[in-house]
Amino acid sequence: MSEFTSEKAFLEAYSIHEYDVPLLTVDMAIFSVLEDQLQVLLVKRAQHPSLGKWALPGGFVDTKRDKSLVETAKRKLRAKTGVATPYVEQVETFGGPERDPRGWSVTVAYMALIPAEGVELVPDDASSEVIWVPVKEMGSEYLLAFDHQSIFEVCLERLKNKVQYSSLPVNLLPKAFTLTELQRTFEIVLGQTVEKKSFRRRILDAGILEETGAMKTGSSRPAKLYRVRPEGQAYFFPRTIEGKR
């Protein structure tokens, strides 16, 4: 049993600095679709360790300001992209003695989906450059710091998997979009074509969209513009997209 008789006495004597605690960071894979490709945001580190290497954006919890881990993630994302209302989802937490040269460390990995339009990438103290990189070029062109390559891969896998049975990709598009644009976005993330009628039935029957009333004109026949219903950010379908038989 404890040597302290009351919890109050225990807490007054408690100092976290007496223990060998792991380092804790939050990192994120921020995805968007630009130029008909799924891309991920990378920063060039302006600080030790791994100064000058590419990495996923992230950093320490600000225990003075952040009220939760997702707040830390959103704060980092807003600093880099200016986007205030991203779709953010916790993916997995990684920990071990070897992943950071400073010692036993833990990182809580998030993925975020944001629309590409209107985003302006801004470097800060922690990063000298901020860029979009097509996910197809990851692993070969860009060598990431720490274990960020494998964190990225886990986030990408989660995204690709979830697209099979959820409406997540709506978060990659601007507020109003056509069904064809939405289908194209699904196809880009899935890496495979989708049958038009099935896709439209699936999305429309799910009831996650509503017509804006406006039309998108320009090419040929105008298309209806839709927006996401307030609660439609993450609908889960009872079946996965099955693809060709």
Partner DNA sequence: TCAATAGTGTCTATTAGACACTATTCC
Partner DNA sequence: GGAATAGTGTCTAATAGACACTATTGA
Please report, as ranges, the residues that interact with a second copy according to CB under 8 A. Answer: 1-2, 4, 7, 10-11, 14, 16-17, 19-24, 46-51, 60-61, 63-64, 67-69, 90, 92-97, 101-104, 106, 108, 128, 238-240, 242
- For the segment 182-211, give every residue that binds DNA (CB under 7 A): 194-202, 205
Q: Are strands 58-60 and 54-55 parallel, antiparallel or unpaired?
A: unpaired
Q: Does 237 bind DNA (CB under 7 A)?
A: yes
Q: Does 243 bind DNA (CB under 7 A)?
A: yes
Nearer Cβ to DNA (52/222): 222
190 interface partner picked from a second copy, DNA, none, CB below 5 to 8 A per type: none
Q: How far is the CB of 236 from a second copy (least distance, A)?
A: 9
User: Which of residues 72 and 167 has its CB atom nearest to DNA in the complex?
Assistant: 167
d(Cα 77, Cα 84) in Å, to the nearest integer? 8
Pairing verdict, β 105-113 and 23-34 = parallel
Indicate the residue type of 240.
T
Site membership for DNA, residue 213 (CB under 7 A)? no
- By CB under 7 A, how many residues form the interface with DNA? 28
Contact with DNA (CB under 7 A) among 8, 35, 219, 231: 219
Dihedral sign (CA 216, 132, 157, 106): negative
Question: Should residue 124 be labelled a site residue for DNA when binding is judged by CB under 7 A?
Answer: no
Strands (E), 114-230: 127-134, 209-216, 223-228
**What torsion, rounded to 10 degrees, do the Cα atoms 108, 113, 117, 121 define?**
10
CB of 242 to DNA, least distance (A): 3
Residue 126 CA, chain-centre distance (Å), reads 19
Tokens of 185: 């976005």
Contact 168, 162 (CB under 8 A): yes
Residues in the site for DNA, rule: CB under 7 A?
178-180, 194-202, 205, 217, 219-224, 237-239, 241-245
